[in-house]
Structure 1
């Protein structure tokens, strides 16, 4: 599994999410309507692949552990590199689940999308919901906290979209939802992982749930010119 974790986007698109893959000879991306992420096995191929993928979407990411992608600045521009990190569950630390956690369905897509874009604007698509299972907590007749699944292989599932409405934070919702989704992944005999930005204030929370920082995992954000 460790070899797959070095390049999680690539292996997700080779396995569980193969149906979402767009391939460019050593570089592959998710369908941009699902998730604007890509990865490569051959860095010499990235420039041409970025040019081709940019015809489909005007903003996207390549995800790497430590490689710097080659790109053609005539057609795409590097907006920024997001310094991220990968965390892998070592041993689940139990948390009391006191809230009613609800499996989310297609009926909730607009609510999920609006909540994610309120808290973490910039990458989530409505069809990102198709990547895995999502769960939420409702208060005052509205969805106020969610956690879902994103990248997946035969061995691991990534926890993602851990967001809570700003008016409902500090109530333990993210902790309970992350614990719940972690258990759901374990039930499927897969290993839970997650990604976040370096220095994120949520890292201590994840560590208290049994996750451990394992490696850098960086998001190179490109725009079409």
Structure 2
């Protein structure tokens, strides 16, 4: 049985609950601590009620100088780690029946990873690594064979699937391609029997306005804290 959150639901600690359920097959584990392989994603999953033993197990899983990211409300960080950076997130959940299939969207596979890495390096939608595609289903839009926009699935806490890595090449912005992909990815999530959710940086006013205009509901205010093992 996957663990059940006792502090505001699984969305307050999505990486931990994804690693404990749908992504358990990807998880590196020690005690109650879960970690994605670094080539998949940077996220460390700690239980809601973090103990000294959990922090000790997390430290034992990492090399000195290795960085990982916590996505959850802030918590005290022990001296075995330093805080590299912290930034605020706003979490949104999609409205019912939000998804819409897009006839031009194509499913991206391992052969597309070099192009996906190049596009995300150019547009910086968040961490995207050589095995990030293992999180879930990714869709793309092409023009004359070139990948010009993409988006896909990331964290999968029980009952939900996160929309992530939505990005558009700068030469093709202003055409609504990102919104089309958000709806197309959401359609697949609805079909899987889950609810789409996503995150925006707390200072990203453009994204926040977009999600508000699309009918998304704010569910949590949290942060990403990047920590490094001493």
TM-score (norm 1): 0.88
- Structure-2 change in CA distance of 1:33 and 1:93 (3 Å): closer
Counterparts of 1:1-225 in structure 2 under 5 Å? 3-41=9-47, 42-45=49-52, 46-55=54-63, 58-65=66-73, 67-73=74-80, 76-93=81-98, 97=102, 100-120=104-124, 123-200=127-204, 201-225=206-230
1:114-145 superposed Cα distances (whole Å, 9 cap, x missing partner): 11121117622110101100000111321010
Displacement of 1:161: 0.2
CA distance in 2, matches of 1:125, 1:223: 19
Gaps of 5+ in 2: none
- Structure-2 change in CA distance of 1:178 and 1:127 (3 Å): same
CA distance in 2, matches of 1:147, 1:121: 10
Contact kept, 8 Å, 2:104 with 2:141, in 1: the verdict is yes
CA distance in 2, matches of 1:131, 1:206: 23
Q: Secondary structure at the match of 1:20?
A: coil
Displacement of 1:106: 1.2
Contact kept, 8 Å, 2:20 with 2:34, in 1: the verdict is no
Displacement of 1:224: 4.2
Contact kept, 8 Å, 1:43 with 1:70, in 2: the verdict is no
Counting matched residue pairs gives 221
- Structure-2 change in CA distance of 1:161 and 1:57 (3 Å): farther
CA distance in 1, matches of 2:158, 2:82: 34
Gaps of 5+ in 1: none
Structure 1 vs Structure 2 CA RMSD: 2.3
Displacement of 1:223: 2.9
- Structure-2 change in CA distance of 1:102 and 1:153 (3 Å): same
1:51-106 superposed Cα distances (whole Å, 9 cap, x missing partner): 223318722201212x3242325xx4211111112111123457795x61111111
- Structure-2 change in CA distance of 1:114 and 1:32 (3 Å): same
Contact kept, 8 Å, 2:90 with 2:218, in 1: the verdict is yes
Contact kept, 8 Å, 2:125 with 2:166, in 1: the verdict is no
Q: Secondary structure at the match of 2:179?
A: helix
TM-score (norm 2): 0.86
